[in-house]
């Protein structure tokens, strides 16, 4: 039996409305949202890419901004000429080792929150030039990549699909906690080290803060 002298327990907080309840309210002209949703909605529909391309994949990126594909439908038609005004780095094309330090420098100059798409086989892994002594085997060795779009080249529709995936990722981010963007997490978002030209290769050959190669287990015998 409960103690009659004990103070009444505080009422439990109301549970947030379900999506079905929100949809029903919206049909009646009532829009329920949170500051976080509003913030992410605005961010996800105004992702401004950097006006930057490296090789043939850039032609597909340019095509995506033309009338036929119309990237403006997603709020991303404002290709900024300055990294300081851009939210998205689309690495579209072959990243030569001569160019890699400049790509990292551009990334560092972009303000947070920022995102990176590796567009095409070259940006992902070196593509058809993977064995070339002068080609980087993936830009994710030096900067964090949020999305990979395979293809040689990926078509503009693939870039638009990737952009929609990125919008979903942004909408799922929270203002605090483990799902927060990089710069809101403990330790912030440090600048990526710009590699130097060494005697035979870039130094360091990768950024250990970023590059997490998959563990390959060969064999399989017990």
Which spans of this chain sit near ligand SF4 (rule: CB under 6 A)? Answer: 55-57, 93-94, 120-122, 127-128, 152-153
CB of 208 to ligand SF4, least distance (A): 26
CB of 143 to ligand SF4, least distance (A): 17
DSSP state of 83: G
CB of 63 to ligand SF4, least distance (A): 12
CB of 129 to ligand SF4, least distance (A): 7
- Residue 93 or 138 with smaller CB distance to ligand SF4: 93
Q: Which residues, in sequence order, are bridge partners of residue 119? A: 92, 149
- Residue 58 or 170 with smaller CB distance to ligand SF4: 58
Closest CA to 120 of 207, 48, 61: 61
Q: For residues 56 and 182, what is the distance between their CA atoms, to the nearest angstrom?
A: 31
- Residue 65 or 94 with smaller CB distance to ligand SF4: 94
- Residue 93 or 162 with smaller CB distance to ligand SF4: 93
- Residue 93 or 181 with smaller CB distance to ligand SF4: 93
- 115 — phi, psi (to 5°)? -140, 155
Query: Which DSSP string corresponds to 10-51?
Result: PPPPPPPPPHHHHHHHHHTT-----HHHHHHHHHHT--PBBS
Q: For residues 97 and 205, what is the distance between their CA atoms, to the nearest angstrom?
A: 10
Closest CA to 118 of 80, 63, 158: 158
CB of 133 to ligand SF4, least distance (A): 17
Please, is 16 exposed, middle or buried when counting C-beta atoms within 10 Å of its C-beta (0-12, 13-18, 19+)? exposed
- Residue 56 or 180 with smaller CB distance to ligand SF4: 56
CB of 92 to ligand SF4, least distance (A): 7
């Amino acid at each position: 039996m409960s103690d009659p002298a004990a103070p009444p327990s505080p009422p439990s907080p109301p549970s947030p409305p379900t999506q079905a309840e929100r949809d029903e309210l919206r049909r009646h002209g009532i829009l329920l949202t949170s500051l976080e949703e509003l913030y992410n909605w605005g961010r996800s529909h105004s992702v401004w890419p950097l006006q930057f391309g490296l090789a043939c994949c850039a032609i597909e990126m340019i095509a995506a901004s033309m009338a036929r594909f119309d990237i403006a439908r997603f709020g991303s038609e404002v290709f900024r000429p300055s990294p300081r005004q851009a939210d998205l780095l689309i690495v579209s094309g072959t990243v030569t080792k001569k160019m890699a330090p400049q790509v990292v420098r551009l990334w560092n100059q972009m303000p947070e929150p920022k995102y990176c798409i590796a567009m095409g086989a070259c940006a992902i892994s070196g593509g058809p030039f993977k064995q070339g002594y002068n080609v980087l085997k993936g830009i994710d060795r030096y900067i964090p990549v949020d999305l990979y779009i395979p293809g040689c080249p990926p078509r503009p529709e693939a870039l638009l699909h990737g952009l929609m995936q990125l919008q979903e990722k942004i909408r799922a981010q929270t203002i605090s906690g483990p799902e927060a963007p990089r710069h809101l997490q403990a330790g912030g978002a440090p600048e990526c080290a710009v590699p130097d030209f060494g005697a035979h290769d870039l130094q360091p050959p990768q950024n250990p803060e970023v590059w997490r190669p998959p563990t390959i287990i060969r064999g399989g015998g017990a």
